[in-house]
Structure 1
């Protein structure tokens, strides 16, 4: 059957799920998600008022078009008619209700029930969105790709804290099977660093609640704006630097591009190699060397397994800022030489 692998963030206890055999996921584009997760210069979210607009009773929602009349938001509701209505509860109690709502969809739906709760709740919607976006950044976290044949006694002592070793490798008393780092129930994150479905599904739930749905979604300015503008990070206009923060080593994108241009004459598939593939090829850890690959090196004992990384978006500026005694080492040539050996072995080029 072969050994299966799982990319894991040990600090956030997250995983991209089961990736199958290393000989497949390393070459099929899967590692590209790391280029999003490790971006150190992601755009910051706008403030709450810019992202989750305040409700303005009676404001114009939609201009008149042809024979269709203009549409206005309803006037503010009169809550004095029902003393038991939720908006008439003490404000502290309403906030407590919001704080105990764990699901973004629930927070949105509650806020959609009336104008007053929209004004109270939009801050809580924003709080959830900020937490979601932050949770998908892997900058500076310990990252490892674990094989399902890894035995607990082969986990390096420096990889896990004593508490983590107990948590990640201790079996459930009701489970008779082996419990390893691979089988620990890490939270599964979405493809490419962010599960866009989280917000879109929440939006669909809101659709059946009043015409506010259009204000939130169709207008393209609030939640859909987050999906389109803040989930999709701005395109990098400058060369980047992959930094191993644990070892103070770095790989220059200029070196990667130059290597790709030369290596394609030998192995055309190297045109798809990026920083994600570089990281994945060096963070694998397993007891068993089986990787469903032609490469016979010790890829299963990755020299960067469990290290911390980020991507700096301006190679020139960052390199110019390094002092003579910075302690950083350029490992671009060494790393790319090893990557070339892996790709040459896999595609059987001479």
Structure 2
């Protein structure tokens, strides 16, 4: 019968319902519902200078902690900071001299930003997922016990897919067996869908473009890059005129043990690099980008992500 998929908000313990096969739901309007759920922008964190002060550590530290460490290549120092597991160790190392503190500030800021991020963890789980294939850092120890422990009322293995999450969307927007709208009808109403109409009627001005942020990895995708790609691709690749942030997120958060995705795409979409990450949308691309400092820690992955999306749409649309 093939593998079926379910979109889950781990933090809210909610599911958006069963979405059928990946080769169907990825290419219809369904991911736009995910985009709607990401529309709330997180509160803006103060800039690095306001939060991690650029002060000079002081003469005591300069004399007591002289070492050849500042003479190492800058890339190596960044690597040392990146691998420091304890925030206190990172701070103490940075305070040993002015140079190391300036390098450390960006790393400290990223750690703090990760703690205060309010985006929810989103994942799309296949029903062929085995518990042993769930990444170690995806669930807390308590969640792993709760979501994957044997259930006496379940006939088969109890997995993240079978956990009884609450439904978030009303029945008419869900694609499970209890949906009021048959799944086969939803598949053939793509061009008349609410999301397609919303995108057609709400072409934003350049100052209103958004930024999709992966709060877990400090990566972002610019809507200006998405629009430019879409304009160039839609004449050649069917279906790309409706690709938005929902499709981008959806294509990178799938997780299963089995590569059965009802698509001809041969990449590892079933082991999504963003599975279980936190996301939000920033409403003003220009303003947000202008506010980034040199050591902001954010990485623009627009080109990388859109290259992967193009490969998926070239090989996999439509497959149902």
Moved >3 Å (runs of 4+): none
Q: Deviations for 1:199-227, whole angstroms, at most 9, x for unmatched residues?
A: xxxxxxxxxxxxxxxxxxxxxxxxxxxxx
Give distance in 2, aligned partners of 1:34 and 1:26.
Answer: 11
Query: Which structure has the bigger radius of gyration?
Result: 1
With normalisation by structure 1, the TM-score equals 0.58
Q: How has the CA–CA distance of structure 1 residues 139 and 281 changed in structure 2, closer, same or farther, with 3 Å as cutoff?
A: farther
Higher relative contact order (CA 8 A, sep 6+): 2
SS of 2:249's equivalent? helix
What's 1:266 paired with?
A: 236
1:173 corresponds in structure 2 to 152
SS of 2:269's partner is coil
Q: How many Å separate the matches in 2 of 1:311 and 1:347? A: 26
The 5 Å alignment of 1:111-260 reads 140-190=119-169, 238-260=208-230
The match for 1:299 among 259, 264, 269 is 269
Match for residue 313 of structure 1 among 283, 303, 319: 283
User: Residues 160 and 251 (structure 1 numbering): CA distance in 2 closer, same or farther, change over 3 Å?
Assistant: same
Structure 2 length-normalised TM:
0.64
Q: Which residue of 2 aligns with 1:17?
A: 17
Q: Deviations over 1:213-267 (max 9, x none)?
A: xxxxxxxxxxxxxxxxxxx9xx666100000000000000000000000011220
CA distance in 1, matches of 2:215, 2:256: 23
In the alignment, which of 296, 312, 317 is matched to residue 342 of structure 1? 312
Across the two proteins, how many residue pairs are aligned to each other?
216
Q: Measured at CA, do residues 18 and 253 of structure 1 come closer, stay the same or move farther in structure 2, by a change above 3 Å?
A: same
Distance 2:221 2:34 in 1: 15
Give yes or no for contact 1:40–1:139 (8 Å, CA) kept in 2: no
Give the Cα–Cα distance (whole angstroms) in 1 for the partners of residues 41 and 119 of structure 2.
12
Matches within 5 A, 1:64-83: none
Q: Aligned with 1:291: secondary structure?
A: coil
Contact 2:216 2:278 survives alignment (8 Å): yes
Distance 1:183 1:174, change over 3 A: closer
1:7 is paired with a residue of what secondary structure? strand
Q: CA deviation at 1:139?
A: 5.9
Per-residue deviation at 1:34? 1.7
The verdict on how the C-alpha distance between 1:175 and 1:6 changes in structure 2, with shifts beyond 3 A counting, is: closer
Residue 289 in 1 paired to residue 259 in 2? yes
Q: Distance in 2 between matches of 1:191 and 1:36?
A: 14
2:5 is equivalent to residue 26 of structure 1: no
In structure 1, the gaps of 5 or more residues are 43-137, 196-231
Tell me by how many angstroms 1:41 deviates: 4.1
Structure 2: gaps (5+ residues): 43-116, 175-197
